[in-house]
Amino acid sequence: MSAGTFNYWSDHCICAIILSISIIQVTIMFKPVQQKKMYEYVIDQIYAQTQSGQLKKGDRLPPERVLTEQLGISRTSVREALRALEVLGIISTQQGEGNFINGDFAESLIRPMATLFIINGGTKKDAIDMRMNLECMSVKNAAECISLLELKELKNVLQAMKDSDDDDALLDLDATFHHIIAKATGNILLENQLQMVNYVTKVILQIDKNKLMMTPEFRMKIENSHHNLYTALEEHNPIKAEQVMKNHLNQEFHYALNSEKKTTESMTFSFD
């Protein structure tokens, strides 16, 4: 190939590459910038102040008129923001008193999160796996730092469970027992996650209403499991506490899923 021919093809190749790049650049599309609505800025400010600690649980927000003046926006935008914050559970409105930072913010999110889990096709196994992991982590950490007051609370719940003959009350007491353990870890995020997972588990158990779950034999096993958990925590023995929790939950899930196992004859869960 002569030098002239080479240069000819070289020039054409370069032009083709440049043209291709130009075409690619032309086809790149940018999405329009989304303009935030005014009330969303209000929500951002109030949420940021709750995160920084400037606004605390139980604090009262300024009246609508004051918020309108301070933020420089319309009263309509302020009202939209307050309604959205109330729906999210960040504030609560007391008639004639005003708007307050909600003390049960985490609690208000549990039901919506649990509902989303169920609507989006979350399975029993999903809930069981997550609860097993979180509960074992929780009890192991709690065994190292649980206080005498928290141990006393657990003991009171054990007595209430022993005295109760109501199925729904037993489910509530079981959740309370596990919540005290989670709270004893001092880890707020872990505590909130367990509240949500336990709520989902409770809903699933109530939906099935497995009769086997309510037999005297099952009650005795669950009562013994809770007592063993209490003993391990009282001894501040993390390894023992974790193993007892595994046994306890395996036992609970086995009975809860028993009716489903009878129909499928193949579904098994193992967490060892």
**DSSP per position, 114-181:** HHHHHHTT--HHHHHHHHHHHHHHHHHHHHHH--HHHHHHHHHHHHHHHH---HHHHHHHHHHHHHHH
The residues, any chain, with a CB within 8 Å of residue 142's CB and separated by 6 or more, are 150, 181, 182, 184, 185, 233, 241
Q: What is the reported pLDDT for 125?
A: 81
Q: Residue 145 — pLDDT band, cuts 50, 70, 90? A: very high
- Residues 91 and 87: their CA atoms lie apart, in Å, by 8
Residue range 67-83, pLDDT digits in tens = 889 888 888 888 888 88
Alpha-carbon distance values, 143 to 14, 30, 113, 222 (Å): 71, 54, 29, 20
Banded pLDDT at 148 (limits 50, 70, 90): very high
76-120 pLDDT, tens per residue?
A: 888 888 888 887 777 888 888 888 887 665 666 676 777 777 788
Higher pLDDT, 95 or 208: 95
Report the percentage of the chain scoring pLDDT > 70. Answer: 72
pLDDT the model gives residue 119: 80
Whose CA is closest to 174, among 123, 135, 148? Answer: 135
pTM above 0.85, yes or no: no
DSSP state of 34: P
Distance from C-alpha of 19 to C-alpha of 187, rounded to nearest angstrom: 59
Looking at residue 155, its pLDDT comes to: 96
Tens digit of each residue's pLDDT (9 = 90 or more) over 176-203: 899 999 999 999 889 888 888 877 776 7
Residue in the structure block whose two tokens are 């929500």: 43
Question: Is residue 264 very low, low, confident or very high in pLDDT (cuts 50, 70, 90)?
Answer: very low
Q: 268 pLDDT exceeds 80? A: no
pLDDT of residue 193: 84
User: Which one-letter DSSP state was computed for residue 212?
Assistant: G
The number of helices, as runs of H, and strands, as runs of E, in the chain is 12, 2
Q: Is the pLDDT of residue 265 over 90?
A: no
Identify whether the C-beta of residue 151 lies closer than 8 Å to the C-beta of residue 230: yes
